[in-house]
Every structure is written in structure tokens, then in C-alpha cells.
Structure 1
Amino acid sequence: MSRIRRHTLPRRPARIAAIAGTAVLAAALTACGGGDSSSSDAKSDLKAQKKTEISVNLTGKQAKAGEPVKVTLADGRLQTVSVTDAKGGRLEGRLSADGKTWTSVRTAAPGTSYSVEAKDDKGGSAKAEFATAAPDKVNKLTLAPGKDSTVGVGQPLSIVFDHPVKNKAEVEKQLKVTTSNNTEGSWGWMEDYSGKSRVDWRPKDYWKSGTKVTLEANLNGVDSGPSGGWFVKDYKTGFTVGKNQLVKIDLDSHHLKLFRDGELVKDVPMSAGTPGGEKASWRGKTVLMSKEGTINMKSETVGLGDAYDKMVDYSMRLTWSGMYAHAAPWNASYFGSANKSSGCIGMSDANAKFVYDSVQVGDPFEITGDDAKGTQALNNGYGEWNLAYDAWKAKSALAGAAGNTGATGSTGTTGN
């Protein structure tokens, strides 16, 4: 009768746990052979099985930016995946249905080092590292209105980019607007008055007073397209909508009226731009861009020769081309009766001060009348309110409409 001697592997649970990592332990022990040889072979088999293997689609020190990070497990199911950069930033991601692949929601940013750690369903882990190539060009942006500001009911969100944006749809997908009352609105693309790429978000109708608005521009790792460069950071801003105010200007009756919550607050006689030429004012729905106080206005800066060079008080900018509402005591004989300025809305010192002290950046100025040289262009300040909402929505890159770059429009004058 033959005798079978069974050998048992020495019990070392702490050591096995330490070296196992991601391994699935399933060593088969035979009933014959010498004790020392069997034990040594078994330990070798265990060590070979203890390595968890992952593959990452991005490798090396010059990996391509703008691609999602994809982590694949060779065997088993992924439990967690962590992809972090050198500054502690983290890429969120999703697991596939079979648990073998994890894909980041956002793309890898240029010029960034990443560390990858994956854990499987057996408690093991594996690590990897890679770095993306530095960008040839970096695109940046300017946001309006300013962070934590309080603005009027006509103020849009506006983003002007340093370099051209050709991949408009990809950029727009990363722009998230959140409001406290689920305000409906849309992005629309245009060429800014400066000639740069610009995208604005306006609500369907004027904002409701008290609305809180947040913009998250999650652009880090997004490519602007040819000649535009990469975005290498995210942006976040927010503002609150202030008093419900509206300024109505009738060029033909020569009056400016300030309304608050639908009630008339002030009726001001004024004189606008001289009709029939370049000195005429613009009509249309515009938005108060800034309150600039006392500034020097020179006619030569807007192509009107040496017609004037004045220090002007209570200046309120309405367009990039230089149309303001301001004090114009030199035109007092025309207030309420005729338009005789060089393009701006002029009032007495007292009335201009009252309006200046009352209005907010972002208040709508609705200008009507025949004594105008045309309607304010889309990009000449904030002219989007001159478009019907459906026409504005068509300027979204995600709407698939033609002409998403918007209109260049006409120019105006800075008057006195």
C-alpha cells in the first residue's frame, strides 16, 4: 500500500496580504514530491499571480492632450480608479458595464503630469504615470460681468477669447450656466467688436430681479482649434441680478424715462445725436456697459475730426463705438426739443447725476425713434436683445445653425 504524504504551506497571512496586492489567490497543491521543492514551487506560482495588470491609453512624457484617459484591467473587475495631477486636481470618470474599463469624463490637459491608481474587486491595486506634451499656444478668456457683482436685468454673460475659437461646439459644451430659478437662455457666438471670438449667454427675456447666476467654464484640456491654442485652466464666476430697472429713450420726443418695477421714476428732457449723418444716435435695445464718471471725449477718436475735446461728467457707456448718456450743459437749449449732439444722449447736470446715481451696469436702455442712423449691431456692446429669441438661439454652436460667428455690424460715434 502506498502512502501519500500531504504538505501544507506555512501559514503567513500577513506576508501574503502584503505582496498579493491585486492577486486572486488560487494555488493548487499536489500530493507527491519532496516537501521543500513543493513549497518553493507553490510560492513561485503565488508570486506570479499576485500582479494586477492595467493598461492606460496615454503613456510616456509626451502623451497627446485632449484625449480622455482610459484605464483597462487585464483580469477581473475594476473597483475604483483615481487619476490625479501634480496639483491635486482629479479627473472624474465612469466604469464600463463589464467593469473592465474606466474612462475619464474630461480630457487630459496639456503640459500636465498624471498619476493613475486602480483597485480591483479582489483588493489589489496597480499604478501608472504619464505626462502630456506642453501646449504650443495657450488660449485665455475675459468674463463679464465681474465676479460677485450685482447687475441690471439686461446683463448677459459674455466671454471674449484671446485667440480664435474654431471648435465652438466643443467649447460651448463645457460652459455651464446655473440660475437660482431655472431661467431659460442660450449661448450665441459672434465676432466681438475687437475682432476676437466671443460667446454670450442671454435669457429668453430680461432677468428677474434677485436671480443668482453661476457660470462654470470647465475648459482645461479643451482645444480651441487651429490658431487658437489650448485652454489650461477652468473658470468660474457668478453674479446677482439687482433692481428691476429700465431706461426708455425716445429720439423723436427727446425724452429719457427711467422705470423701476414698471413705475416711472424720472422723466428727463434730453438731446440726442444730430440726425442725417454719422452724428446720429443708434436705436435699439442696448445695455449699460459701464459707469465711467468724468472722462475726456475727443471727436478725433471716432472719426469726427476736431469737432470737440471735452471733459464730460456722469458718463454712462452704451456701445463700444462710443455712444454714451451723459451731462451736456452746453446743449441746454435743445433739451426736450431737438437732437443736436454728436451721437450721445445729453442731459442737464442735475438730471444726468440723478440718472447716473440710479442706474446699474446691466440696465437695459431701449432707444426708439426715426432720428437714428440704424439699429445697434449685435457686437457693438450688448446688442443681442435686438434679436428675437429664436434667432438668438440659432447662434449657438450646438444648434447646428449656419453663421454662428455672428455679425460684425456697424460702428457709431462718441458724441457730446
Structure 2
Amino acid sequence: MPVANRRAAERALEVKSAPAMSGTFEWLDNTTVQWVPDRFWPAHSTVALSVGNLSTDFKTGPAVVGVADISDHTFTVRIDGVGAGPPPPRPAPHHRPHWGEEGVMPASMGRPHFPTPVGSYTVLSKERSVVMDSSSVGVPLTDPEGYRVPVDYAVRISRRGLYVHSAPWALNSLGVENVSHGCISLSPADAEWYFNAVHIGDPVIVQE
């Protein structure tokens, strides 16, 4: 049943945390509301939620932060401030900068006509396999840039279809150039590792 009085519903909800956090309510639809903190939840903090006589509490997990650097062609993952990720294969391809640095994975972001939007995101969902269809973002399948492809290890970070995902077809471009339609492309091994390490709500930052 749709919520008729959203303000009253928000007043009935109480969110407390240690350390204390400020934030706002965001309605996803007529029946679902979420409380969004003004900054990322600190790792390993306690959060308590109460609605009337009902209450629950939980702890946040480790800080799994992904940073996509568009000009550097890298995706860096740090867990609780420490670089993390699968070890690079040997021998290392020496023409790729940052190869072998802790937590740094070669990546490919959006090409000039389909730039990856700079900003801060949170992980919305994880899909082991998904079919990506260009028509969902306004590019007809009949267009030369149109596509409909199955993708593995897809981590969604925006409602408009921005993902971090496996891109085996782009292996030669990872760490070198940006060739995607906007998503953050990784090797299959790196994408699988990130898919298993990240949780819904974890931050992803895209920077120039």
C-alpha cells in the first residue's frame, strides 16, 4: 500500500549510529524509503534503526572503496585503507603503467562520445550475469554504436545503467585507453575478485 503521508512516516523512523551521522530520507517509490547519510558510513560502525516498538541494529563492514581514474585507465580498490586485489599475472606487461601496484587494476572507461560521468556512487546491486542492451540508454540496436551483449560479474553503481564489469573483449585496451560505452571495464579475473569483495552500499568514486 502506498504511503500517504511521507513526512509522518519519516518522523516515525529513527536512525542512530556510533559515530553519529547526519543524513536525509530518500523515497525509492511509493512504499520504500531509505536513509542516506551525508557522507559514507565509517567502516565497522554500529547503526540502530527503530520504527515505533520495532528496532534492529547492525554493524557496517570493512571500507571497500573503488576509485576509477579516467585519465590513468585504472580502477583502484582499497579495503580499510589498504590496497587489495588479485595478484597480477607474470610476466608483467611493462608497457602498462601501474601494473603490479597493490590494489591497482588496469581498466577502461567511456570513450569520448560515451564518457564515464565523474562523481561519487554507491553499489546498488550485483548480478553474476546480465544482458546489456544499448536501447535502455537511448542507443537503438540498429545504430552503429548499438549493442546487446551478455556481461559477467556486473556491479551496478547507477540507476542509468553504469556498471563495473568484466570485459574480455577489451583486454588489449585495459590500462591503455578508454573504449567502453561508459561502464568501468575490467579483466575477467579482476571483475570476479571485485564482485566477490564488494557489498551493496560500498562507494565507487570516478575521477578524471
Aligned to 2:67: 248
**Residues 197, 275 of structure 1: alpha-carbon distance in 2 compared, 3 angstrom cutoff:** farther
Alignment of 1:11-410 (within 5 A): 138-140=1-3, 165=5, 168=7, 170-179=8-17, 181-189=18-26, 192=28, 200-218=34-52, 238-265=57-84, 266-276=103-113, 279-306=114-141, 307-369=146-208
Q: Give the number of the structure whose alpha-carbon radius of gyration is greater.
A: 1
Root mean square deviation of aligned Cα: 2.3
Which contiguous aligned blocks of 4+ residues in structure 1 show a shift greater than 6 angstroms? none
Letter in 1 for 2:124: M
TM-score by length of 2: 0.79
Question: Does structure 2 retain, via aligned residues, the 8 Å contact 1:271–1:339?
Answer: yes
CA deviation after TM superposition for structure 1 residue 235, in Å: 6.6
**Residues 177, 257 of structure 1: alpha-carbon distance in 2 compared, 3 angstrom cutoff:** same
What residue ranges of structure 1 are gaps of 5+ in the alignment? Answer: 1-137, 141-162, 219-233, 370-416
Per-residue displacement from partner, 1:177-224 (whole Å, max 9, x unpaired)? 122x242212245x64x6x58754333443232223232234xxxxxx
CA deviation after TM superposition for structure 1 residue 303, in Å: 1.5
Distance 2:36 2:198 in 1: 20
TM-score by length of 1: 0.41
Letter in 2 for 1:183: A
SS of 2:182's partner is coil
**Residues 235, 342 of structure 1: alpha-carbon distance in 2 compared, 3 angstrom cutoff:** farther
Distance 1:263 1:284 in 2: 22
Distance 1:331 1:324 in 2: 15
Question: Does structure 1 retain, via aligned residues, the 8 Å contact 2:10–2:25?
Answer: no
Percent pairwise identity: 28
Question: Does structure 2 retain, via aligned residues, the 8 Å contact 1:183–1:203?
Answer: no
Distance 2:182 2:106 in 1: 16
Structure of higher RCO (CA pairs closer than 8 Å, 6+ residues apart):
2
Distance 1:339 1:315 in 2: 18
